Structure 1
Amino acid sequence: MASPSSSPQRAWRAACPNCGAPVEFRSAASASAVCGFCKSTLLREGEALRRIGRVGELFDDHSPLALGTQGRFQGEGFVLVGRLQYRYDGGTWNEWRALFDSGRSGWLSEDNGAFVFSFDAPLDEPAPPADELVAGERRLVAGQAWDVASVTRTALIAAEGELAKPPNQREPFVVADLRNAQGEVATLDYGDAKAVGWSVGRPVELSALSLVGLAVASDGAEVAEKTLAARALDCPSCGAALEVTLASTQSIVCHQCKAVVDVSQGAGADLAAANRSHYGQDTPGSGGEPLIPLGATGSLGLGGPTRRWQVVGYVERHTVPGPGDDGESWFWREYLLYHRGEGFAFLVDAEDGWSWVRTISGAPQRVDGSRVKWRGVEYRMKERYIGEIGYVLGEFYWKLERGARTDNTDYTGSGANAKKRLNREQTAAAGTQEVTWSAGETLDADAVLSAFGLGPERSAAFARDAQPVAGRSGGTLAGLFVFLLLVVLVFAMVRCSRDDCRELRQLYGEASSEYQQCQRSAGSSGGSRGYGGSFGGFSSGGGGHK
């Protein structure tokens, strides 16, 4: 563990002109501060402080970070000296001002359940007007091409500590996130009427920052502890006691009545008293409980070292039929995984196989209309479809809304990279447009079973066909066999009725895609779409950053 960072400069202290409490400045470049006692906004004028207003109370989001937390980034020590807290329709997020030993400052900000370290940069050319930005488009900013990832209408609701300028709590404004193929994340901040803010950064893992003085104690092995002592509240639908166990949780599902409860707009004592937004759910489309139970932990190496991941959420999603689909939709399942040092990932159970994905901070390079390139690997578009949430369980770091839809595009690698997957999701909600990219790889069903310690008797229910026909080896004979097998399957599905699917149910289980496909075929007069699937990675709609 790194030793605490030394103070970069001699601290300057003065009394708050409103309440008399001591207010400390670590940097001569800091022009403002918020009194920790009376919440007065103070403007520094030479050796005196002037009160210019009062900020709102902080939303108690149980962040693992705190004022005074120290660490190291790129070989240099820093200390967190200030915080800005923002709210938008999907929830809240924090930006922590980091003061380095050299005197420079940066921002440690939340980003889709992860973190980004960014630094303010000069913008020598006019910024694009906020009302002209559209998520998904490409823009030239500061002489570089960027993909617009999100356009969010937000408001600064609270602040604390030492700041470079007085916080602006006057009215909502637009914040736009941009990303590029180099993995960089940039932000256009339209909160200052005089000048648009511009910052550029990269994703970081808290466990790599050698943090000392976190708000939440770690176990000594990893410092990025984001779990906490449970926050309690009553379900607004049935009154059952609910426990929120993750700091980043925005929605939680009642274990008793399965109502989806919004916890993004209040915390602490307000959790129990607030009139919470919530909605009830129909029965799950799979007809049963998740194949992997909530709370289960599994050892998986998701693009890195093997870690113990815990299942904290479960989502069933289905496609919205479009022209030429004969009114039929298909569904897939996503397990939200959490690791306190790595953040979140998705384990995806689709009709064409198992896979894992994690959201990426950058944006793939576009090769042409059907191909993109990410980290040296070229991907080709497989299909595009509209997805909709059908059923959820557990906790989620984004705000869940009834009937929320996403515009999805799946991409696959080829050759030696045939197992690699990319997914692009685009959403549009009140005051927010967002594009989220996720990357991952396919998994064998046996690997999933082994990871979560599930017995071999469950293998039939987990079995999926993850390999495309064109990618199989074995020549003409194998291709003919596969073709005949598909003919038999199609014939069997056409003959299926809801009662005739009993054998598939007994063999694979009620939650299996084989049984569900038979059920859908029996209930539809049109043809079957086949074994499509999603490569997952749900757009958070929350956890954005400056």
Structure 2
Amino acid sequence: MATESPPQRSYRAACPNCGAPVDFRSPASAFAVCSFCKSTIVREGDALRRIGQSAELFDDHSPLQLGAGGTHQGAAFTLVGRLQYRYRDGTWNEWHALFDNGRSAWLSEDNGRYVMAFDAPLTQAPPRAESLQPGQQLVVEGQPYAVGSVTAARLIAAQGELPFAPHTERAFVVADLRSARGEVGTLDYSDAQAPKWSIGRSVAISELAMTGLADSAEKTLSARGIECPSCGASLEVKLATTQSIVCHQCHAVVDVSQGIGADLAHFAQDNGMEPQIPLGRIGTLTLTAKRPLPWQVVGYVERCDIPDSDEDEQTFWREYLLYHRTEGFAFLVDADDGWSWTAPITGTPQKAGDGMKHEGVTYRKLYDYTGQVTYVLGEFYWRLARHERTFNTDYIGTGNASKKRLNRERTGSGDTQEIVWSAGETLSADEVIAAFKLAPEQRAAMQRDAAPTTMQMSRLMKVAIIVFIVIVLLLMFRCSSGGGAADCSELRNTYGEASTEYRTCLANQRSGSRTGGGSYGGFSTGGGHK
């Protein structure tokens, strides 16, 4: 836990506008925002002068708050300030962390997790903001980086003690760069004449041993209520980072990224399938933290790929958005070729021939594809757009790491573009069933990757006979009628759209196409520091 700063480093004076006390914990801090009247205060020696006023903070129900403390690399810190930014898809926070040794840092939101970053000097002129593009390779301060995202943003509000004056009247570009060393570098062009540069690494709240978090983060997910703008049903937004929520009654997708008010953007969607793992269900899995933790299903997505030609097979898959209070978010993916989990990574893998290398593992490339959202349920920490497309590449681990998976996803256009890398591993259907305590009768519908030794012989023989009959019938249908989606409708009605029988039928209607596209991907997660 962060300890109180020594008295000689602290300074308190009355706000020149309202008289409320304004604290400065660090002698390096020259600016603060009065917590009572929101006046922006500049410190000049022992006197304070009002230079403006900050807007009200957008209430995003963040678990972090001023006064919360923790430990990073053996040093204690306290959150003393906050900057809140808005971009096209919502808002994000950067918290000013003051360490007991006097050093400052920024604890920023990043892809459902956090980054602890420290300001660093720029000894060479950085690239011009307008020249940056996601995926671009460049060198900053002698180190190689890949551009992860380029975002047009605006500072909308400030709070507490800050190392510089907050200016909320102009828009600027912020670019996140990611390295093979697991670092995220940020170029902040809020001052076009003197861009700011910071370098950080991914952290989890659990790793920081945070104390003094907001009450909503200490308890089970608490909710804030809104009314569905489509049907009027009462909706409860439970996650602090929610940008989109789907109405449980009419299934309209409601955009809450710009705040909860009377006029909420929304769009209707066609009905999809019921998730095999119910929303709200908690399962114990070993994912990002490398130890068993309870993960809650908070969102459900159905996606498909866009075939390059009419002869290519179109594949479908489903993703469950999982949440843990201190670890952040992860995805559970249900695809034709099996189950897997994946989560965004802070850095970027290294190129290795036609493949990639990440954390000592070499991955070979599987395929490229374009994905599209077809149906969603629940809550999401990014803004969902109708028929939004993503451009993906899947990789598989080589040698003894064949269970490992890697995915590159590019999203966005115009002034907000991004590339997100995700990493994870395969899971068996039995692991998923056990983790979420699903009914035994669901096993047949969820099984994608069972080996013969996992079945009893009698059941294996039954399945083999059924598959053999299906293949023979399909060959007959293809010879007589050329095949088509309608040929499989009876299997779909009998066994379900997610069944092995129906998927086998579809797969055998076409030849020469890949299977399992999107198995290891994840949704775009909103960009660096967002």
Regarding TM over 0.5, the answer is: yes
Pick the aligned partner of 2:516 from 528, 532, 538. Answer: 532
CA distance in 2, matches of 1:236, 1:146: 43
Aligned twin of 2:334: 349
CA distance in 1, matches of 2:292, 2:484: 42
Q: Could you tell me whether the CA contact under 8 Å between 2:392 and 2:521 is conserved in 1?
A: no
For 1:114-513, list aligned pairs within 5 A. Answer: 114-216=113-215, 228-266=221-259, 271=260, 273-284=261-272, 288-303=273-288, 304-322=290-308, 324-326=309-311, 328-368=313-353, 370-465=354-449, 491=475, 494=478, 498=486, 501-503=489-491, 505-506=493-494, 508-512=495-499
Pick the aligned partner of 2:4 from 3, 6, 13. Answer: 6
Deviations 1:396-442 (A, max 9, x none): 01000001111000000122111110000001235211000010111
SS of 2:206's equivalent? Answer: helix
Deviations 1:136-169 (A, max 9, x none): 1111011000011000000000001010010021
* Distance change >3 Å, CA 262–CA 71, structure 1 → 2: same
Q: Could you tell me whether the CA contact under 8 Å between 2:390 and 2:411 is conserved in 1?
A: yes
Q: Could you tell me whether the CA contact under 8 Å between 1:493 and 1:518 is conserved in 2?
A: no
CA distance in 1, matches of 2:222, 2:23: 31
Q: Deviation at 1:20? A: 1.6
CA distance in 2, matches of 1:48, 1:510: 70
Q: Could you tell me whether the CA contact under 8 Å between 2:84 and 2:93 is conserved in 1?
A: yes
Q: Which amino acid aligns with 1:166?
A: A
Q: Deviation at 1:498? A: 3.2
Q: Which amino acid aligns with 2:382?
A: W
CA distance in 2, matches of 1:359, 1:309: 16
Q: Which amino acid aligns with 1:347?
A: L
Q: Deviation at 1:500? A: 5.3
User: Is 150-159 or 186-195 further displaced after alignment?
Assistant: 186-195
Q: Which amino acid aligns with 2:159?
A: E
* Distance change >3 Å, CA 117–CA 536, structure 1 → 2: same
* Distance change >3 Å, CA 31–CA 169, structure 1 → 2: same
Q: Which amino acid aligns with 1:309?
A: W
% identity of equivalent residues: 58
Aligned twin of 1:81: 80
Q: Could you tell me whether the CA contact under 8 Å between 1:442 and 1:466 is conserved in 2?
A: no
Q: Could you tell me whether the CA contact under 8 Å between 1:336 and 1:344 is conserved in 2?
A: yes
SS of 2:64's equivalent? Answer: coil
Q: Deviation at 1:499? A: 6.4
Q: Could you tell me whether the CA contact under 8 Å between 1:354 and 1:466 is conserved in 2?
A: no
Q: Deviation at 1:229? A: 2.1
* Distance change >3 Å, CA 340–CA 490, structure 1 → 2: farther
Q: Could you tell me whether the CA contact under 8 Å between 1:445 and 1:459 is conserved in 2?
A: yes
Q: Which amino acid aligns with 1:363?
A: T
CA distance in 1, matches of 2:445, 2:408: 28
CA distance in 2, matches of 1:365, 1:489: 47
Q: Deviation at 1:356? A: 0.6
Q: Deviation at 1:515? A: 2.2
Q: Which amino acid aligns with 1:330?
A: T
Q: Could you tell me whether the CA contact under 8 Å between 2:474 and 2:505 is conserved in 1?
A: no
User: Is 533-542 or 241-250 further displaced after alignment?
Assistant: 533-542
Deviations 1:342-367 (A, max 9, x none): 11110101111111111101100011
* Distance change >3 Å, CA 531–CA 191, structure 1 → 2: same
Q: Could you tell me whether the CA contact under 8 Å between 2:470 and 2:505 is conserved in 1?
A: no
Deviations 1:55-111 (A, max 9, x none): 111000001111111211111111111000000001100000011111110011100
Q: How many residues align?
A: 510
> Where does the alignment leave 5 or more consecutive residues of structure 1 unmatched?
220-224, 468-482
Aligned twin of 2:459: none
Q: Could you tell me whether the CA contact under 8 Å between 1:289 and 1:511 is conserved in 2?
A: no
Q: Which amino acid aligns with 1:159?
A: A
CA distance in 1, matches of 2:356, 2:404: 13
* Distance change >3 Å, CA 541–CA 174, structure 1 → 2: farther
* Distance change >3 Å, CA 365–CA 246, structure 1 → 2: same
* Distance change >3 Å, CA 238–CA 36, structure 1 → 2: same
CA distance in 2, matches of 1:432, 1:314: 25
Deviations 1:259-314 (A, max 9, x none): 00001111xxxx2x420000000122xxx311111111111112510111111100
Deviations 1:432-471 (A, max 9, x none): 110000101111111111111123221111111489xxxx
Taking structure 1 as the reference length, what is the TM-score of the superposition?
A: 0.88
Q: Deviation at 1:497? A: 6.1
User: Is 47-56 or 381-390 further displaced after alignment?
Assistant: 47-56
CA distance in 2, matches of 1:490, 1:67: 65
Q: Deviation at 1:192? A: 1.3
Deviations 1:179-238 (A, max 9, x none): 11111111000011331100001111111222221112665xxxxx6x642100000000
Q: Could you tell me whether the CA contact under 8 Å between 1:521 and 1:528 is conserved in 2?
A: no
